[in-house]
């Protein structure tokens, strides 16, 4: 289920951001002590910020944001998809199901709106997920000392 973040998700948010495994291809985790100090009691809520809830517990996060400052012109100003799941939830199809639902939500809110996604090409799970959701390659580029993949999704193109 996709829902708004709640106060009871705080520990899972910290776990997600402090996990070295989750941040293998995302520039490394943040120090747990810093997260314990800085994470608000009630997480910020805004349209496009989803907690992925499985049987009453947070297993991941999905973000749909305007990529206003994106470094690639093709992505600037577009809706941008991001996803992070706790390692114990990986490999069961939850990310694919949850991201497809978030894209459906966006299409209901903004019909015809395209979505971009950037991921490291070395991130095999994320690359496969992007393809499964129907993202098509726009370009590859170097950033943060690694090859990055920029993909675009359109509600008008059915997933493969």
Ligand X SMILES: CC(C)(COP(=O)(O)OP(=O)(O)OC[C@H]1O[C@@H](n2cnc3c(N)ncnc32)[C@H](O)[C@@H]1OP(=O)(O)O)[C@@H](O)C(=O)NCCC(=O)NCCS
Q: What does the binding site for ligand X look like in residue numbers (CB under 6 A)?
A: 22, 25-26, 82-85, 89-96, 119, 123-126, 128-129, 132
Closest contact distance (angstroms) between CB of 87 and ligand X is: 8
Pick between residue 112 and residue 151 the one whose CB is nearest to ligand X: 151
Nearer to ligand X, 126 or 134 (CB): 126
- Between 48 and 82, CB nearer to ligand X: 82
Least distance from ligand X to the Cβ atom of residue 19, Å: 8
DSSP string covering 18-37? H-TTTTTTTT-PPPHHHHHH
Residue closest to ligand X, measured at CB: 125
Residue 50 CA to residue 30 CA, distance in Å, equals 21
Start-end of H helices in the chain:
10-18, 32-38, 94-109, 124-133
Question: Treating both helix axes as pointing N-terminal to C-terminal, what angle do 124-133 and 94-109 enclose, rounded to 10 degrees?
Answer: 40
């Amino acid at each position: 289920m996709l829902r708004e973040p709640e106060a009871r998700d705080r520990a899972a948010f910290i776990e997600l951001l402090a996990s070295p495994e989750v941040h293998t291809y995302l520039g490394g985790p943040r120090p747990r002590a810093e997260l314990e100090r800085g994470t608000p009691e009630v997480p910020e809520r805004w349209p496009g910020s989803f907690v992925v809830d499985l049987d009453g517990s947070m297993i991941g996060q999905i973000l749909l944001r305007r990529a206003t400052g994106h470094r690639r012109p093709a992505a600037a100003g577009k809706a941008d998809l991001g996803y992070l799941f706790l390692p114990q939830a990986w490999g069961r199809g939850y990310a694919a199901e949850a991201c497809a639902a978030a894209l459906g939500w966006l299409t209901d809110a903004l019909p015809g709106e395209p979505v971009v996604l950037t991921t490291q090409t070395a991130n095999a799970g994320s690359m496969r997920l992007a393809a499964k959701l129907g993202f098509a390659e726009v370009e590859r580029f170097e950033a943060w000392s690694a090859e990055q993949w920029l993909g675009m999704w359109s509600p008008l193109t059915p997933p493969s």
